[in-house]
Amino acid sequence: MTSDTMKSNNPSFAIKLKNFLGKLVKNQLFIPIVALLLLVLINLIADPTFFKIVLEPSSTGHLILSGNLITIIDNASELAILAIGMTLVTSASGGQDISVGATIAIAGSVILRVIKVQPTDISNGRFAAMLILAFVLCVVVSAIFGAFNGALVAYFNIQPMVATLILFTAGRSIAAWINNNDNISIKDTRFAYYGNFIPGIAIPTPVFITAICLIVIALVLKFTNLRLYSQAVGINASSSRLNGINPKMIKLLTFIILGVCVAVCGFIKVSRTSSITYSVIANNIEMDAILAVALGGNALSGGKFNITSSVIGAYVIQFLTTTLYKFKVSSSAISAYKAVVVILLIIISAPIVRRWFEDMKNKREAARVAKIATAANTESGKENV
């Protein structure tokens, strides 16, 4: 009895710390950040020079930053951009778009179709105009494909995974059809700037593009009702309709935003290699993007979302991939290790496991209370005697 009152009157530092930790664990950013720290730790133990970044001249003679960390941040760009759109789609429609890899192929194909007709010796101004034209066209085409998916989901009530199965099947073929299945490679070195380095700047360009995308989406979420509306639609579409939101429009909008993200990814992808292989480009990226969303702790059944944690999830996945490469795992066997991560992840984040933990906690608490009670009883019994 006395010990209990003492505890409640005098909240010690330990209890404060416990509360703080409890809050931390419940935070959505907890899992991806812990995963990231774990990977950093493993890498540091395995190879202390893993994070060394050096400034050295590249093959074209310009100074560039190189190192594992730069590679990871650079290579994760597409995934991070996709994770933005995928999070929104997941939130509003409670399903995932599995066609992103195929539509990236379409987007890349559209860009190359425009760029390939240009001679390599045109002036910088004309090239820039050409590039902008190609990019705008690519964004429009991707947005149309996104709208196609979105319309099937929103207006025909088809589950997102099934609706996007159509483009998943046909997308790469459409990409090949756009360019007549030609093997295109762009000779103009200016085209490769956007997937690699702009001369004179030491940081890879995709990093900047990702940053711009993140800033834009942050501003959009800050100054519009997109976050509120898509969460409302994801949690309960019919009640959000009764509150004056048009759930169909919101779903369509999220798919169009994903389409724009896909266009940016397609642009970076083709710029990296200045060429395209229709059946291989961005292969399996849809699975990674969905994994990034799940890793970020977002419910795949829709509702509340946190884009920051999805993006961190994307970097974690790329980090994992690079780490596995460092440990000399062959590129095709990597997926087996990813499977282990996925399983661990779903086990940690599953409601049933959390419930189990809470039950354990409650039981321990109950046992403690019972112990105190019996102790008090025996004491009072002694007094009576």
Partner 1 sequence: MSVNSTVLEKKLKKKASLTDTNLLLIITVVVFLVMYILAVVFLKKGFTKPQMFFNILNENASLLVLSCGMTLVMITGGIDISVGQVTSLVCMSCAVYLQKVNDAGLTGNQYVIKSMLLAVAIGLAFGIVQGFLVAYMEFQPFIVTLAGLFFAKGMTTIVSSDRIPVTFDPFVKLCRTEVTIPFLGSVNKKGIFIPAYVEVGVIAALAIVVILFCVLKWTKLGRNFYAVGGNNQSANMLGINVKLTKFLAHVLCGLMAGIGGYLFFLHACSGSPLHAQGAEMNAIASSIIGGTLLSGGVGNIVGTLFGVLSLSTIKNIVTSLGLEDAWWTNITVGVMLCIFLLVQSVILARKNNKK
Does position 159 bind partner 1 by CB under 8 A? yes
Report residue 324 as tokens: 């596995």
Per-residue contact string for residues 296-315; x = within reach of partner 1 by CB under 8 A: ----xx--------------
**Six-digit token string for 160:** 């997102």
Q: How far apart are CA 72 and CA 84, in angstroms?
A: 18
Task: Give yes or no for a contact between 385 and 378, defined as CB atoms under 8 angstroms apart.
Answer: no
Specify the residue, 163 or 217, whose C-beta has the smaller distance to partner 1.
163
**C-beta of 58 vs 159, nearer to partner 1:** 159
Instruction: Please give the size of the binding site for partner 1, defined by CB under 8 A.
Output: 46
Rounded CA separation 265/285 (Å): 11
> Do 118 and 130 touch, CB atoms closer than 8 A?
yes
Q: Does 339 bind partner 1 (CB under 8 A)?
A: yes
Contact pick of 41, 211, 343, 367 for partner 1 (by CB under 8 A): 343
Q: Min. distance of Cβ 279 from partner 1 in angstroms?
A: 9
The Cα 228–Cα 221 span in angstroms is 9
Site for partner 1 in 43-102 (CB under 8 A): 96
Measure the CA–CA gap between 262 and 105, rounded to whole angstroms.
9
CA distances from 221 to 261, 296, 311, 322 (A): 15, 18, 15, 31
92 to 131: interface string for partner 1, x by CB under 8 A: ----x-----------------------------------
For residue 209, state whether it binds partner 1 (rule: CB under 8 A): no
Does position 176 interact with partner 1 (CB under 8 A)? The reply is yes
* Of 168 and 315, CB closest to partner 1: 168
Per CB under 8 A, does 3 bind partner 1?
Answer: no
Contact (CB, 8 A) for 108 and 271: no
Using CB under 8 A as the binding rule, whether residue 161 contacts partner 1 is answered as yes
Q: Which of 352, 381, 384, 385 binds partner 1 (CB under 8 A)?
A: 352
Pick from 83, 115, 163, 257 the residue near partner 1 by CB under 8 A: 163
Q: How far is the CB of 30 from partner 1 (least distance, A)?
A: 19
Does position 338 interact with partner 1 (CB under 8 A)? The reply is: yes
| Positions in 234-263 near partner 1 (CB under 8 A) | none
Query: Binding of partner 1 at residue 152 (CB under 8 A)?
Result: yes
Q: Which of 45/352 has CB closer to partner 1?
A: 352
**Which residues lie closer than 8 Å to 73 by C-beta, 6 or more apart?**
204, 207, 315
Interface pick for partner 1 out of 60, 239, 335, 362 (rule CB under 8 A): 335
How far, CA to CA in Å, does 224 sit from each of 218, 219, 241, 243, 303? 10, 8, 18, 17, 17
**Closer residue to partner 1, CB minimum distance, 39 or 334:** 334
What tokens appear for 330 in the block?
């062959």
DSSP states along 4-64: HHHHHHS--HHHHHHHHHHHHHHSTTHHHHHHHHHHHHHHHHH-TTTT--EEEE-TTS-EE
Min dist. Cβ of residue 338 to partner 1 (A): 5
Pairing, β 63-66 against β 54-57: antiparallel
How far apart CA 222 and CA 228 sit, in angstroms, is 10
- Contact footprint for partner 1 (CB under 8 A): 96, 152, 156-159, 161-163, 165-174, 176-177, 181, 287, 290-291, 294, 300-301, 330, 332-340, 342-343, 346-347, 350-353
